[in-house]
Chain A
Amino acid sequence: MEGTKLIERVSLAQRITHLLVALSIITLFITGFPITFSDYLGWFAELIGGYKVTMFLHRVAATCLIFATFFYVTNYVLSWLSGRCKLETIIFSPKDILDFIQDLKYTFKLSDELPKYAKFNWLMKASLSYAIFEVFVFIVTGLILWFPWFFMNFMPKSYILAAATIHRAFAIMALLHFTGHVYGNHFHPGEFPLHRVIFSGVLPEEHVKEEFPLWYEEIKEEEGE
């Protein structure tokens, strides 16, 4: 698309974080499920090199995920403090609930008008908020399972088993989330075969104008200043 104006949507730091999180999450799935469901997937752990190697890779990927989380949070907070981004673009607001209702109305033919989205729509915000919560639970429960002797200083020994159950349940939810995220962004009929924004960081102006009108207006206002 030569001659098309491109607008930056995802910064370099965000793209690096996304790549790190994606790679570590995929590794955590590949190594975590054979450990959890060893009766059915034990053969896969053997294929990787045995349980010792699988556990080691799981912990390396977990370390990557912890790093990516701290990197992203620090980056976002500093960007916000220096006025490079707004907190309300990723935090849920009453408008998002109204947008959701308007989306339902449009879907069920009760209205012909689509909601006007800002930089991120309600689903993107919900997905990001849940991902942050999910990673937080993974880090806490994962550290408890990794270093039970340390955590026994602060919690009863009888809670360790529960931490394992929560870790497993969240892993299944994370797999569902991951599948939905990949479908919505890459395999969705409107985006197939690949949504390039997470690799290039930019979107064509026309796309922004059509899909995120409020964000487009904001950009135009800033340009006019």
Chain B
Amino acid sequence: MVMNENDIFKISLIVGIIATLGILYVCNSTPKYEYGVPQDYQIEQGVKINFYVGAIMWGVLTFYGLAACGLVFLDYLKFRRLKKHGGH
């Protein structure tokens, strides 16, 4: 398939607009409150699920934070060495 950059740009633009509007239109198709407000037991269950999801997310967040700080520190060490050797 051979297409020039201009064609690819135009097709991407059209796909982007149609997909975005399409998603919003479909998601908006169900009227509010059609399925009723959550019952007490559903809220209770939701809070319970949320507790476990929250615990997992805290774990992920801690790992991510440490990994990010570690990478920045490693980058600093590498830059210091590069500078000594007159590299980029």
Chain B residue total in the interface (Cβ 8 A): 56
- A210: Cβ under 8 A from any B Cβ: yes
Q: Is the CB of A176 within 8 A of B65?
A: yes
Q: Is the CB of A66 within 8 A of B20?
A: yes
Q: Tell me the bound Cα distance from A211 to B88 in angstroms.
A: 7
Q: How far is the CB of A4 from chain B (nearest CB, A)?
A: 15
Q: Known contacts A67-B16, A159-B46: does B27 contact A169 (CB below 8 Å)?
A: no
User: Of A71, A108, A143, which one neighbours B12 at CB under 8 angstroms?
Assistant: A71
Q: Tell me the bound Cα distance from A162 to B26 in angstroms.
A: 22
Interface of B is mostly: helix
Q: Tell me the bound Cα distance from A173 to B50 in angstroms.
A: 18
User: Of A78, A143, A146, A190, which one neighbours B79 at CB under 8 angstroms?
Assistant: A190
Chain A residue total in the interface (Cβ 8 A): 59
Q: Tell me the bound Cα distance from A188 to B82 in angstroms.
A: 13
Q: Is the CB of A157 within 8 A of B38?
A: yes
Q: Is the CB of B72 within 8 A of A176?
A: no
Q: Is the CB of A123 within 8 A of B71?
A: yes
Q: Is the CB of B81 within 8 A of A109?
A: yes
Q: Tell me the bound Cα distance from A88 to B60 in angstroms.
A: 28
Q: Is the CB of A169 within 8 A of B57?
A: yes
Q: List 15 A-B contacts (CB under 8 A).
A: A12-B9, A13-B9, A66-B19, A66-B23, A70-B20, A78-B11, A106-B81, A149-B31, A149-B34, A153-B35, A158-B38, A161-B46, A180-B71, A184-B72, A190-B82
Top 3 nearest A-B pairs (CB, nearest first) are: A71-B16, A158-B46, A169-B57
| Residues on B facing A (Cβ under 8 Å) | 1-3, 5, 8-9, 11-13, 15-17, 19-20, 23-24, 26-35, 38, 42-43, 45-50, 53-54, 57-58, 60-61, 64-65, 68, 71-72, 74-75, 77-79, 81-83, 87-88
| Residues on A facing B (Cβ under 8 Å) | 11-13, 63, 66-68, 70-72, 74-75, 78-79, 81-84, 103-104, 106-109, 114, 123, 143, 146-147, 149-153, 156-162, 164-166, 168-169, 172-173, 176-177, 180, 183-184, 188-190, 207, 210-211
A71-B12, A173-B64 known, 15 other contacts, Cβ within 8 Å: A63-B24, A70-B12, A78-B12, A107-B81, A143-B23, A147-B30, A150-B26, A152-B30, A157-B46, A159-B49, A165-B54, A177-B68, A189-B79, A190-B79, A207-B88
